[in-house]
Each structure stands twice: as C-alpha cells, then as structure tokens.
Structure 1
Amino acid sequence: MATKIVVDAGHGGSNPGAVYQGRRESDDALRLAMAVGRILEENGYDVSYTRTTDTTQSVGQKAAIANEEGADLFVSIHRNAAEYPGKYSGVQTLIYDDSGIKKEMAQNINANLERLGFRNAGVSIRPNLVVLNSTQMPALLVEAGFIDSTTDNQLFDSRFQAIAQGIADGIMETLENQNVSGGGNMTGNSMGNNMGNNMMGNGQNCPVCPSMPEGTGPEQELYRVQAGAFRDRQNADNLLSLLENDGFPAYIIYQDGLYKVQVGAYSRLSNAIAMEREVRQKGYNTYITT
C-alpha cells in the first residue's frame, strides 16, 4: 500500500490568510499545494487534498480531513507575513515538536528552498496550532516565503515549479532515509503522533463548527466576528493562536494598516451572532463587523 499524504492548501474561501497588494495567501497556497501533490503522485505516493478550489475550511476541518483519510503524513502549505511589509523574508517550517521524522523533513524542505535563493528562517516548534496538534500523524506547516516581501514574491513566481519540486523532494528524501518509500507502509515509532488534548470525541476539534456561507462572492456582504486589531503582527498572531487553540476558525486580514483577527464569515447575521456568543463565552472581547 502506498504511503498516504494529505496536502493542505492553507486558508481558503472567506479566509484569504495574509493579503498584500491584492495578492492572497490562500491563492498562492492552493497553487503550490496542488503542484507539490502532483509531484508526489507522480512518484507513487497516495495523495489527497484538503481543498482543490477556493473553499472555506476551519483549521479543525482540515485536521479532521487528514484524520478521516487515515493519512501517514500531513503537509500544510502557507505564505508568511510580517507586521510591516518588507520587514522579513525567507522560508520557515513549523512542527508540533522535534520528535520523530518531522524535524528532519522540515530541515530538508528548508534546505532545498534555500538553494533556490530563499533565506532559511529555520524550523519553529508551534504546539498551539490546530493543524499540528490535532492531526493523528506527523504534520508540518511550510511557510513558502513572505507574501509582503518583493524578493520572496519574485522568487515564488519565477521559481514556482522548482519550489514545488524542492518541497516534494524534501518530503520524499526524508521518507526514503527512514526506509519508507512511495510503495511502502508507514511503520515504526519514527513517525510519531501529534494528537493534542483538544480533540473532541466526534473527531472535530472545534466546539463550534458553523456552516459557512455558500456561493459567496465579492458583491455579497459577509458578517465576521472580530476579536482584535493590532499594528504589531506578533500581537495578532498571539491572539490567533489562542483562538485556534480553542478550536475557532480564526484568521488574520491586513486592512487599513491593522492586522485584524476575525472568526468566521457569514451571509446570515444570525450565524455571526451565534458565533460571537460562543467566542465571548471563552472570554474574548468581540464585535460583529462586515
């Protein structure tokens, strides 16, 4: 049986992730995730995707997809962003902890992308991220350059296929070093387990799993629950991590010079009110915005 890998395109739909000069993280992530997945498939791996179109998913839903697929490995593709455009550049890979195969794979991916011209920002341990702590298999989150860095965007666009190849090669090289090939089974303790304590008994890790708006477009007004707005990206990231750890479908948008931390996006005001009530019950100060 071929090794099963779930490739996740970060964010999506009403949650674009970081946005800079009209460029959306969710779009870049989807293109790159599909390209990485195709390379893995061509090399004999059994690949599934959390999304193949611009659809909305909570981080809990992404983790649940990987768990339901019975995946051996979960790789989430993202772009990074700084508190001030152009402040940082480089690639970084996030993992739950440094046990098992995860750290070696993250280092291999970063090294491959560094050879393409990216600054290597290293491997970071982030146990509070839902897609890393609620997946039942080794999981990595790859930050493929900063979306607000001109240098990184030029590399992303001009070396796109090489970037996809570098990520895929980092995955495959590591698996081969662990005596696991595309035609083999994931066995042994080296693969670890990232299951966190916040997984609900029904396989979903969010206390609220709302229905997201259908058929949303640029002309449709959406109601969002806002939990904070910051000039400092790190403050926004800290709040985002807290919300994600509580299982909420939170995300950050950059608007009017502020990093705004929001939860959900609903075509019906009643759904936004219900979500705001749940978020407030967890102790967050919120209001509904459009």
Structure 2
Amino acid sequence: MAPLISFTSLATLSMMFVFVEAQVPAMFVFGDSLLDPGNNNNLATLAKANYFPNGIDFPEGVTGRYCNGRTVADYLGNLLGLPLIPPYNKPIITAHDTSRGVNFASAAAGILNDTGKLYGDRFSMDSQIQNFKRILEGLSSALVNGTEDYISRSLFLVCMGSNDYINNFLLPLSQTASMYTAESFAELLIHEYSRQLKELYELGARKFLIGGLGPLGCIPNQIGNYQNASNIAKGQIICLPILPLECENRSDFIFWDPYHPTDRANSIVAEYAYNGTLQASFPMNAMQLALL
C-alpha cells in the first residue's frame, strides 16, 4: 500500500540467497506493505496479499508479500547473514523462531493510528511497538544472558509514513486534510514518529536503519491520476500482474503493482541500503552500522 522507499541505485543482485556469517544477532522490522511478510493474512482487512500471482517468484510461493518475490527486508536480512525473518502474526511463533528477529510490518499501517482504517484491521506503528514488547518478554526468559546486549546489537529496520499520506491525508474528502495544512500535518507526523523511535530506543534499540519517504507523486498509482500521464512511461515501470503471462519479464520492471516494487527493484534498494554511499544511506550504511 505504499511506494518505494528512498534508497536508490543501479546495482543488481542475484535472485539466489547466499548465506554468510551473521553480522548482527537479529533484525526487527517495522513498516507497512513494502515490508509486510504476511502479518495481515489473518486480520479482518482488505489489505492483504495472500493470493496469486503475488509470490510467483518467492520460494515459498504466496505468503502475503506485496511482491512477486522478496521484500527489501528479506534481501537486507540475507546480506546481514540472517535467515528469513518470520512475521509476528504467524499462527504459531516460538522463542526459537524469534531468536534472529521478527517482522512486525503491516499493510495499510501508518505512523498515525487511524491511517488505513478504511481497509479494516492493521497493526499501526504504535501497535507494532506493543507487539515488539510482547516478543521482548518472551526473549527475556529464553536468552540466558538477557536481552540488553542482544537488542542493542540488533538492527532495527523502520519504514513508515507513506500510508499517512496515501491512505489518510490525500484521500478524497479526508477529514485529516480538513484539520491540518500540509505543513502542520508533516509536523504532526514528525512529532509522532520521533516519539515512536524514542520508545524503541528506550526499549534497548540502538542500531536504526530508517527508510525515507519516497517520491509519492511518482508511483504508478499517483501518475495514473493525471490524464496527461504518459502511457508509455507507466508501461515501462509497472508489471501489472493481472495476468502473469503478460508480465513474464518481471525483472525488467520497477513496480510490481501500482504501489509496490518488484523483487528486482527491492534487491537493488537493499544493496544500496547495505553498502551504498552517503548519497544512498546517511550517515552510514547498514554494513557499517552492523560493525559498530
């Protein structure tokens, strides 16, 4: 339900995962549908992707990811030497499952609690933090040496805010838009997001990788709102998997659907987040952050 985050590059990655020694104990993921691994599958919501052709290029098939394959979180975890990070809201999740991290991301979620409510249930950023607290309680009893060092050395990937515009402020007849100017709404989001990140810090998080808000006006969903938008340009960037056979060259596209990147695009973003220059990841990249 949200656009590509603002890490960008022209690099390429293999579709195959190559596991290396883990550089961090775990990775905890907070976000929206860009990173959702299937947390909405069992919620009463329209915002779920547990149907074909989503997952057509994912080894496990359909999982609830808004993508033909892997998300940025999947690729980044692999680059850090971690196994696939499990969704928080899976039917059964054990302490062993969560020992290398948990993905709390939820489609339609936002910084604000009422963002995405038109779709039904979802885990807002505040709810995701509460879910992290529950996981932390379980880890406290499972880890012999406690969680303080474990959490402080783990990576926290956070990508939130797109839905607060797309599925809140920018909606037709939006009540939020009638209450705030664009400037005051941005200030509200910054205030709430800062509070939430500080709460994670107080819970022990120290290594944050935060995805910037992407160029919302450039995603296919928004471009399509303009009658003078170039049909050729839209065709070049969006796969539109209504009929998979019409999009066999999926790795040639940036977008899988009107909102979400393809597996190939996600691999590029993850690569630059992991070892990109300051122009891509400031003040340091994930590889440098992991070494601290």
TM over 0.5: no
Higher relative contact order (CA 8 A, sep 6+): 2
Q: TM-score, length-normalised on structure 1?
A: 0.29
Q: TM-score, length-normalised on structure 2?
A: 0.29
